[in-house]
Amino acid sequence: MSLLNQLFNRGLQGSKCKTCLTLAISRIKLLQNKRDAQLRLMRKEIAQFLQTGQEAIARIRVEHIIREQNVWAAYEILELFCEFVYARVPILESQKECPSELREAVASIIFAAPRCSDLPDLLHVRNLFAAKYGKEFIAAASELRPDTSVNRTIVEKLSVGAPSAEVRLNVLKEIAKEYNVEWDSSCTEAELSKKPEDLLNGPKQIAVPVWASLEPNTRGHPPTSENPVTSPNGNRGAKSLDSPTFVTKAPLWPANIAKPSLTDSTLADTSDIKKDTRPETSDVLERARAAISAAEHASTAARLAADLVNVKFSTSKIEEGKS
C-alpha cells in the first residue's frame, strides 16, 4: 500500500480485512451448528402437533422453520464468499477497482452485512470496502441496483416476506414423512388455499348503474329531451346510456291508464274528512279544560278547609286562655 493511500485512507487494510473475515467464518460455523440443533427440535415439535391434530399451531410454527432454513442457506453461501475473498485479499489491495471475478462475492457481503445481526464482523468488512471503493459502490449493492452483482439466492433467502402456501405445505409434508406421522393434509390444503379477505376496503361488490334498473321502463316510449337515446351513428349530440352519470326518468303512471283528476267530488270528500276530524279535536280540548277547572276548584276547596281549621284552632286557644 502506498503512502498516499495510507494518508487518505483509500487503500484496503489487508490484515484487518483478513482478521474480520476469519472471525466471520468461524462465527458462521458456530451459528450453523446451533441452528441445526434448533431446527431438529422445532421439526420434532411440529411433528407432534400434526400427530395430535393441532394443525393450526403447526401452520404457524412452520413459518419460523422456513425462515431459519433460509437464513441457514444464506449463511452457507456467505461462508463460501468470505473464504473466497480471504484468499484474494492481495488482489483487492493491488487494484483500484473491484475485480470482476470478485464483484459478486464483495457485493453479496455488502448486501448481507446489515441484514445479518448475528455477524457483526461482516459490518467491519463492509466498512473496509466502503473506504476502498466509496459510498456509491456500497449504496448500489445495498439497494440492488441493476449494475450490481449480488447473489440472487442470498437476496431471496434474506427477504422478510412471508413464505407462500405451497412452500409451507411442502415443509409440513416433509416433516410428517420424516417422523412417520399419518397426517391428512386435505384440511390444511383447504385452509392455505383461502385468499385473505381485504378487511380495510370492505366487501368488494359490483356497483350497478342507476340507469340499468330503469332501462326496461323506458322501452316503448319515444325519445324526448328528458329521455334521450343514443343514436346508432354515434353522434356526439346524443347522450349515451353507457355513462354512469346519466339517469333516465321513468314514467310515474302507465300510458294506457288514465290519470285520476281532482274533481269537485274528491274535494268534497276531503273537506268532509276534515270536518269529521275537527269535532274530535274540540272534544279533547273541552275535556282538558273541564279537568283543569275541576283541579282549580279542588285546590280552592282545600285552601278554604285549611283556613277553617286554623280559625277553629285559634278560637280554642283563646277560650282556654280566658278560662
Tally Cβ neighbours within 10 Å of residue 20: 22
pLDDT of residue 162: 87
Of 154, 148, 152, the C-alpha closest to 129 is: 148
H-only helix segments in 143-228: 152-157, 165-178, 186-192, 210-214
pLDDT at 299 over 60: yes
C-alpha cell at 235: 353522434
Yes or no: say if 42 and 64 are a contact pair by the CB < 8 Å rule: yes
Q: What span, in angstroms and rounded, lies between the C-alpha atoms of 59 and 282? A: 78
Lowest mean pLDDT among 68-77, 127-136, 243-252, 309-318: 243-252
pLDDT at 298 over 90: no
Identify residue 201 by its one-letter amino acid code: N
pLDDT band at 113; cut points 50, 70, 90: very high
pLDDT of residue 257: 54
Return the SS3 of 304: helix
Q: Kindly report, residue by residue over 197-250, the tens digit of the pLDDT.
A: 644 555 555 545 545 444 444 444 544 544 554 444 444 444 444 444 444 444
Instruction: Provide mean pLDDT across the span 243-268.
Output: 49
What pLDDT is attached to residue 244? Answer: 44
The mean per-residue pLDDT over the stretch 270-277 comes to: 49
Residues 166-185: pLDDT tens digits?
999 999 999 999 999 988 88
What average pLDDT does the structure give for the chain? 77
- pLDDT for the residue numbered 8: 42
Confidence of residue 112 (pLDDT cuts 50, 70, 90): very high
Instruction: Give mean pLDDT, residues 53-58.
Output: 90
Crossing angle for the helix pair 14-51 and 55-87, to the nearest 10 degrees:
160
Question: What distance in Å separates the CA atoms of residue 107 and residue 20, rounded to the nearest whole number?
Answer: 16
d(C-alpha 13, C-alpha 1), whole Å: 8
> Greatest CA span in the chain, whole angstroms?
143
Report the pLDDT value the prediction gives residue 75, as an integer from 0 to 100. 96
Question: In one letter, which amino acid is 137?
Answer: F
